[in-house]
Amino acid sequence: MFWRERKHYFYAVLVIVVVISVTFYLRGLPIHTFWSSLLFGMTVLIVFSSYDYYRFQRRHRERLQQVIPQVDLSPQSQAEQDLLKLLEEQKEYYEKKIAGIKKFDADLTDVVRMWSHQMKVPLSVLDLMGQTGDFTQDEVKDQTFQLENYLDMLLHYLRLNHEQTDYRFTHVPMRPLVQAIVRKFAPLFIRKGLSVTVDGDATWTTDEKWFSFALEQIISNAVKYTTQGNVSVQITPKLIQISDTGIGILKEDLPRLFDHGFTGYNGRRDKKATGLGFFLAKEVTNRLSLNIHVDSEIDKGTTVTIIRETNEY
């Protein structure tokens, strides 16, 4: 700042030196006289500049002390030392909090961008149906179902990352829960000609609403990427397996399957993929103290297994 404020003075001195040099050269004056005068002038200039710089720094410190008074934070007792430690812990806590908010904001931006892109597809189809008048009631239901599904996904993502999200753990019969989800996706099963089976039964202690949402994401993916064959759900007291005969997932894509926004090769090939289904399912199961594992083989199908961490029956 000091040099920026004084730059015009230094430019002026430089110009004067150049003018004197040219004058000495044109008049043929002794060169040693020029160097002597230049050395004397530079000495005076350095002394003056040093003093000016000292005054500038002193004024700068005085102004800072007026705005932000200096505080000696050296602890004088054990109580003060504990208080300073507490303040440091609070600082770290809020820094992590701010970092988490920034990450959530960035993730939310990505989610909304992908979500809005997916919403355009059924909206465009509905708009085309309205313009042409060529549609059936089932086709309209199919597009509105997709809109409701995408909207429900966004709302659950927002609730999932809200601090006040509550979890109510109760004894939940799994078979009726799975059957209700299957009925929800029944139009898609029927339209694609897929069969579905639900075998076994068990009662788990979990949050019914959130666990149902996680299962919906998995079953939705199973229906989306299965063109023929079947989707089966196996229920036991220790695990639930959802298997399909769909296009499968590349082996090298499996480690990143639960990453935010990752769609994999087959997901990129399918223009409707958002990469949010498995990500949200993983986030929910983690918070419900459940493990989720995926096995898959290209053109043979995918099996998603949700495993309980507790031995409670």
Residue 90 lies in a domain: no
209 and 129 together in one domain: yes
> For position 268, what pLDDT does the model report?
47
89-100 pLDDT tens trace = 888 988 888 888
Task: Give the span between the Cα atoms of 284 and 289, in whole angstroms.
Answer: 9
pTM of the shown model: 0.63
pLDDT band at 313 (very low <50, low <70, confident <90, very high): very low
> For position 305, what pLDDT does the model report?
96
Q: What percent of the chain has pLDDT over 90?
A: 27
Residue 85 lies in a domain: no
Position 39 pLDDT exceeds 60: yes
63 and 112 together in one domain: no
Structure tokens at 138: 């089932």
202 and 265 together in one domain: yes
Position 211 pLDDT exceeds 90: yes
> For position 164, what pLDDT does the model report?
63
241 and 138 together in one domain: yes
Boundaries of domain holding 122: 101-308
Residue 96 lies in a domain: no
Residue 294 lies in a domain: yes
40 and 123 together in one domain: no
Domain boundary among 67, 85, 115: 67
Residue 161 lies in a domain: yes
259 and 159 together in one domain: yes
For the CA atoms of 117, 252, 195, 212, the dihedral, rounded to the nearest 10 degrees, stands at -60
Task: Give the span between the Cα atoms of 57 and 247, in whole angstroms.
Answer: 71
pLDDT band at 209 (very low <50, low <70, confident <90, very high): very high
Domain boundary among 19, 42, 67: 67
Q: Report the 10 Å Cβ neighbour count for 256.
A: 13
162 and 291 together in one domain: yes
3-state helix/strand/coil string of the chain: CHHHHCHHHHHHHHHHHHHHHHHHHHHCCCHHHHHHHHHHHHHHHHHHHHHHHHHHHHHHHHHHHHHCCCCCCCCCCHHHHHHHHHHHHHHHHHHHHHHHHHHHHHHHHHHHHHHHHHHHHHHHHHHHHHHHCCCCHHHHHHHHHHHHHHHHHHHHHHHHCCCCCCCCEEEEEHHHHHHHHHHHCHHHHHHHCCEEEEEECCEEEEEHHHHHHHHHHHHHHHHHCCCCCEEEEEECCCEEEEEECCCCCCHHHHHHCCCCCCCHHHHHHCCCCCCCHHHHHHHHHHHCCEEEEEEEECCCEEEEEEEECCCCC
187 and 63 together in one domain: no
Number of structural domains, the chain? Answer: 2
89-132 pLDDT tens trace = 888 988 888 888 888 788 778 778 777 777 887 888 888 888 88
146-162 pLDDT tens trace = 888 888 888 888 887 77
Residue 77 lies in a domain: no
303 and 197 together in one domain: yes
| Residues paired with 172 in a beta bridge | 204
190 and 44 together in one domain: no
